[in-house]
Amino acid sequence: MNFAQMLATEVKPQRLDGHKTWTRNTKVANVVVQSKAIRKYTAAVSRDWTKTVDIATRLGMERMSVFKQLAKYVRLGILERRPLGGRPFNQHTGWEWRVK
C-alpha cells in the first residue's frame, strides 16, 4: 500500500466512552497470591520473637521494604510485634515480630 492509497482508505474512529467489552475475573488468582505471601512471611517470622533485619535477610529483601507488609499482617491479626528486647521503643533498634 502506498501513501495515496493509505490516505484514501476509510478510517473507523475508536470508541470514546472507554467502555471495556469484557473484564477479567482475578479474584481467585488474588486469593492464591495473597495466601502464598502470608505463608512466605509467616515462615520467615516463625513463632519466636524475630528482629526485622533477620526477617528481611530470610526473605532476601531490605528492612524497610518488609516493614510495611509486616505492619499490615499485624493489623490483620496474623502477626504481633513488640519493641526490640521488650524495652521501650527506640527508632534505632526497631521491632521484634512473631506469629500469633
First and final CA of the chain: distance in angstroms?
A: 69
Given this model, what pLDDT does residue 20 score?
67
CATH number of the domain to which 90 belongs: 1.10.10
Pull the grid cell for residue 64. Answer: 524497610
Short-list 32, 34, 15, 29, CA closest to 72: 34
SS3 1: coil
Given this model, what pLDDT does residue 85 score?
84
Q: Is residue 13 part of a domain?
A: no
Number of domains composing the chain = 1
Given this model, what pLDDT does residue 7 score?
86
Q: Is residue 81 part of a domain?
A: yes
Given this model, what pLDDT does residue 23 score?
77
Strand partners, 99: 79
Helix/strand/coil percent split, the chain, to 5:
50, 10, 40
Question: 31 pLDDT exceeds 90?
Answer: yes
Strands (E), 36-99: 50-51, 79-83, 95-99
Which structural domain, as residue segments, surrounds residue 60?
Answer: 46-100
Given this model, what pLDDT does residue 77 score?
94
pLDDT tens-digit map of 33-87: 999 999 999 999 989 999 999 999 999 998 889 989 999 999 999 999 999 887 8
Section 14-42 average pLDDT: 85
Q: Is residue 22 part of a domain?
A: no
Q: Is residue 16 part of a domain?
A: no
The pTM assigned to this predicted structure is 0.70
